[in-house]
Structure 1
Amino acid sequence: MSTSVKSATVAALVTGAAVATIGIAPPAGANDEWGINGTFATSSNGDWAKVNERYHDEPVVRSTWTINTVCSTPMDCAGTVNSDQGWSAPIYTTNGVWYIKRVVPNWKFCADGSPVEGMQIYRIYPVGPEGYVDTTSDEYTGEDQTVGPSGSCGRNQWPQIRMPFYMKKI
């Protein structure tokens, strides 16, 4: 076999191996340590809920989430949350705070029975045993807020519910 044929064969094998690896390799510079990955028990504490800035008891919401994220830097991560309640939503981080945003159809109903859609936003950050930010922790705290459109149900007001939120890896 000639040298040029050997070189072409080696080049083809290296290229083929590289192409085969691209499908399973994370993006260049990706780091799993920066993201949130795994299964988590979550709780939105309705005992401390505020409805339009007034304390009002709401049901406690407990669920299990499976989260998968990919990060290119500690401040640039994105992925998906899948809840055992049947919904899925994107998750991303900005300035060390994680956000999950999803539309909640038929969130509330007006007196006439017409439905109101809500935008649910979770804002969470990792917290250590002392209650301070700890980027190495597998526990998160923050807020679960759902807001409806202003003018819904004939009121010039943004209906909203805010609750403390907690999440721990299981």
Structure 2
Amino acid sequence: MGARSLTTLGGCLSIALGMVAPPAWAMPDGPALNGTYQAVTNGDWAKTDGVYRDQLTVISTWSIESVCANYQSCTGRITSDQGWTADMYFQTQSWRVRRTIPDWQRCPDGTVSSGHQLFIFSPYAGDEFDISSAVLVGEDITSGVPGACGRGYPVEIRIPFRLTKLP
């Protein structure tokens, strides 16, 4: 083989190896979260229907257990010290937790409606995605039910969220 053929073969081999190598952030356990975490929903930066309106800051403790089949398929369960549990899953480099909050929205006529809460958070170190980070950041998004309280569209509250692993 000539030098040109070896260079071409080397380039093809590099491309092929790059296609099968795991992503740089891959870890043996994948992005699994396990242990005790402090969850902070920062109400000082809340937006209600797109407008900044202060909400209460909520600080709670979460116990998390999760497993990953691979780097794209993880599931788990959260137990909050606020008395609720919810399933979680990993999708597109972020964890997602969905739960229903009974009697979330109180209407002027005295009726109440549930809310649908979604936590989305990812591990970050500075401005970089870092699967090994003990701090995860994202959003706490709670939406009401369309039509509740005579409104055709649901109330939506978006609040910055931080999850920090405790020792």
Question: What is the number of residues matched between the two proteins?
Answer: 139
TM-score by length of 2: 0.81
C-alpha RMSD over aligned residues: 1.0
Matched, 1:136 2:137: no
When residues 126 and 100 of structure 1 are mapped into structure 2, their CA distance, relative to the original with a 3 A threshold, is same
- In the alignment, what sits opposite 2:45? 48
Partner of 1:102: helix, strand, or coil?
strand
- Partner Cα distance (1:138, 1:69) in 2: 15
Moved over 6 A (4+): none
User: Mind listing any 5+ residue stretches in structure 1 that lack a counterpart?
Assistant: 1-30
User: Mind listing any 5+ residue stretches in structure 2 that lack a counterpart?
Assistant: 1-27
> In the TM superposition, what is the alpha-carbon distance from 1:96 to its structure 2 partner?
1.1
> In the TM superposition, what is the alpha-carbon distance from 1:134 to its structure 2 partner?
0.6
- In the alignment, what sits opposite 1:67? 64
Sequence identity, in percent? 39
Matched letter for residue 122 of structure 1? F
- Partner Cα distance (1:155, 1:33) in 2: 43
Larger Rg: 1
- Partner Cα distance (2:138, 2:130) in 1: 13
From 51, 74, 78, the equivalent of 1:77 is 74
- Partner Cα distance (2:31, 2:49) in 1: 35
TM-score by length of 1: 0.79
- Partner Cα distance (2:113, 2:128) in 1: 37
Matched, 1:157 2:153: yes
